[in-house]
Amino acid sequence: MFSNFKDIDSGYRQMRRITLITIAANLIITCLSINMVSGSKNKAYVLADGTLLEATLTDRRDIIPVIAKSHIRTFHQYFWTLDPDEKGIRDNIGKALYLADGSAKTLFDDLREAGYYAAIISGNVSQTVTVDSISLDTRQYPYLFKCWSTEHLIRPTTRTTRRLITTGQLRTTGGSPNNQLGFLIEKLHVLDNNDISTEKR
């Protein structure tokens, strides 16, 4: 009978030992996992053209100037890069109007009523815009901006270079598939859009 108690006692000790070892192993694995996750939580990996790139995650507030300038540049390229194709103009303007408020729509309507787009189509004019620089004031909200660009108008017989200076302000939005950077241009105003030079082709 005492041997049964000894067997039960040794079995209990062995079970306790196995339980303690299992708990210790789980604690070690948990600590290692937490260290690995916390060490890599600000990193992401992107596969681009078959190459694995490491990207570091940052707070949006830290990169607002970069994102905002990219939004302004994209808007200007969509709005002022035009080819003599009515559908192409409509598509570009449509993309641009997702990035701005009614002030851009008003500017579009004014240009359309003045025959600007009809002249591009009938005159076989290709127009491109290059954003030269953007000034952005992030000390106040909405963010005020000023954008200096150069337009190039290629006609069948001439090439014209035109200065384009615009101002406005940016406010943040939730973003959407049509406005992925999450900004909206407001109070868009064209300060200067005059020819700099014209040369024959």
Residue pLDDT tens, the chain, 201 long: 445 556 677 777 788 888 888 888 888 888 777 766 555 555 666 666 667 667 666 666 678 889 999 999 999 999 999 999 999 999 999 999 999 999 999 999 999 999 999 999 999 999 999 999 999 998 899 999 999 999 999 999 999 999 999 999 999 988 888 888 889 999 999 999 999 999 998
pLDDT for the residue 47: 66
The runs of H, that is alpha helices, within 41-176 are 64-80, 86-97, 102-113, 116-122
Residues 152, 130 contacting (CB under 8 angstroms): yes
> What are the Cα distances from residue 169, in Å, to 69, 72, 147?
11, 10, 11
H helices, E strands: number in the chain: 5, 7
pLDDT for the residue 32: 74
pLDDT for the residue 34: 73
pLDDT for the residue 85: 92
Q: What's the CATH number of domain 60-200, 3.10.450.230, 3.40.50.1980, 3.40.50.620, 2.60.40.10?
A: 3.10.450.230
> What are the Cα distances from residue 9, in Å, to 21, 22, 84, 101, 187?
18, 20, 93, 80, 84
CA distance 155 to 123: 7
pLDDT for the residue 163: 96
Contacts of 39 (CB under 8 A, 6+ apart): none
**Domain spans of the chain?**
2-45+50-55, 60-200
